[in-house]
Amino acid sequence: MQNLGSASPLTAGKIHIGVFGLSDYEIRLVRCVLNLTTAAGRTHSYTLLDAGSACLPDIAIVDADNAQAQDALRALTAANTECKTATLLFCHLAPMEHDCHFLLRPLAPTRMLAQLDKIADEIMGPVAARQPMLMPVAVAKAAAPSMPIASQPHLLFDDEQVLSARASHRALIIDDSMTARINIDIELRQLRIPADWAKTGEQGLQMMAQKSYDMVFLDIVLPGADGYEICKLIRRNQDNKRTPVVMLTSKSSPFDRIRGSLAGCSCYLTKPIDQEKFRAVIAKHLVKREVARFPNGNPQMGVLA
C-alpha cells in the first residue's frame, strides 16, 4: 500500500480507509459509502482495508469512546513510522480539541463522505483543489443566453452565490435499500440539494405531510404499499399534485411505465442510477418548477455542468 504521506492517491490509486472500534452496522454503512465513491468524475476514491490488515491506512476512522481501538491504531502507527495516518473520530459528543476531525453519532453518510473528502484535500494539498468536481457551475454574466428561461433544458441554480437559496430546495428519497438511498443522496449532495430518507412509503407520506419537498424519488418495490399506490396517494394531496415523482426500478418494461403513468409519476430511473440521466432528470424537473414559480425568469439560476 502506498500511503498519502509518501505518494499522492492521484497516482497511487484509491485512498485506503481503516476502521477501529466501529460496530458491525457502522462498518457496513462505511463500506456502502466507500463503494459509491468509485463513480467516474470524483476527485477522491476510497477503499476499506480488511479487518486485521497490517497495512497502515491513509485515513483511520476510530471510535472515540473505545480505548482499545485507539490503542490498536497507536500500535499500528508506531510500527509504520515512515508514513502518517489522518484520523476521523466517531463520537457521541464533540471532542475538546477543536482542530481534530470528528463526526457525531448517529452516522450520516453524506457528512461522513464530506469529512473524508476534506481530510483527503488537506493531506494532498493544492493538487486536489485543481481537480474537477461534478457540481453545477455559475454562468458568467457576459455569456448568459438571450433565449427565454423556459426554453433552456439544462438550467439549474447558480453554485456559490445562491447556496442559501438552493438549500431551500429539498428532495425525499423513499427506498428500503440503504445502498440505493446513499447512492441518490450522494448524487444530490454533489448538486448541493439536501435530501431526507424514508424506508417505507407510509413513512414517506408522513414526512411529506410535515414538510414540503421539491422532488420525490420513489422505489416501486417497498415494504407495505408499493410505489404505485404511494404515488397515487401523493397525487391525491392538492399540495403535491405538481411535485415531481421519479420512480425507481431495477427493470423497466412498457407495462411498468403504463402503471407509473396511471399512478401519476413524472418519469422513471433504472437502478443502479446512471449519473448523466440522473442529472438530466434533476435539471428538467427542477427547472420546470422554477419556471412555474418565476415565469419572468429567475436570476438565481445557472447552467448544470
265-303 pLDDT, tens digit per residue, is: 999 898 888 888 888 888 888 766 655 554 454 444 433
- 263, 231 in Cβ contact below 8 A? yes
- According to the model, what pLDDT value does residue 29 have? 83
- According to the model, what pLDDT value does residue 39 have? 61
- According to the model, what pLDDT value does residue 182 have? 87
- According to the model, what pLDDT value does residue 142 have? 37
- According to the model, what pLDDT value does residue 8 have? 38
Mean pLDDT, all residues of the chain = 75
161-176 pLDDT, tens digit per residue, is: 333 334 468 999 999 9
- According to the model, what pLDDT value does residue 228 have? 93
* Farthest CA pair distance, the chain: 65
Q: Would you call 158 helix, strand, or coil by DSSP?
A: coil
- According to the model, what pLDDT value does residue 289 have? 60
Burial class for 107, CB neighbours closer than 10 Å (0-12, 13-18, 19+): middle
Q: Would you call 88 helix, strand, or coil by DSSP?
A: strand
Measuring CA to CA, which residue among 150, 3, 167, 13 is closest to residue 85? Answer: 3
> Cβ contacts of residue 218 below 8 Å, gap of 6+?
174, 175, 201, 204, 227, 230, 231, 234, 245, 246, 247, 248, 265
Cell of 277: 440521466
Mean pLDDT value across residues 249-256: 73
CA distance 218 to 250: 12
213-240 pLDDT, tens digit per residue, is: 999 999 999 999 999 999 999 999 999 9
- According to the model, what pLDDT value does residue 151 have? 34
- According to the model, what pLDDT value does residue 150 have? 33
- According to the model, what pLDDT value does residue 206 have? 95
- According to the model, what pLDDT value does residue 271 have? 86
CA distance 75 to 62: 14
| pLDDT beyond 70 at 136 | no
Measuring CA to CA, which residue among 176, 178, 183 is closest to residue 203? Answer: 176
- According to the model, what pLDDT value does residue 234 have? 96
CA distance 254 to 259: 9
- According to the model, what pLDDT value does residue 243 have? 93
Mean pLDDT value across residues 33-54: 78
| pLDDT beyond 80 at 158 | no
Task: Judge if pTM exceeds 0.75.
Answer: no
| pLDDT beyond 70 at 204 | yes
Mean pLDDT value across residues 31-48: 78
Pairing of strands 155-157, 301-303: antiparallel
CA 160 to chain CA centroid, nearest Å: 18
- Which amino acid would we find at residue 272? P
Measuring CA to CA, which residue among 193, 187, 182 is closest to residue 215? Answer: 193
Q: How many CB atoms lie within 10 A of CB 89?
A: 20
Contacts 24+ apart (CB under 8 A), 132-136: 132/41, 132/43, 133/43, 133/190, 134/41, 134/42, 134/190, 134/275, 134/305, 135/159, 135/190, 135/191, 135/192, 135/305, 136/191, 136/192, 136/302, 136/303, 136/304, 136/305
66-124 pLDDT, tens digit per residue, is: 999 899 888 888 877 777 889 999 988 887 766 688 888 877 777 888 889 899 988 87
- According to the model, what pLDDT value does residue 287 have? 64
- According to the model, what pLDDT value does residue 125 have? 65
> Cβ contacts of residue 233 below 8 Å, gap of 6+?
201, 205, 225
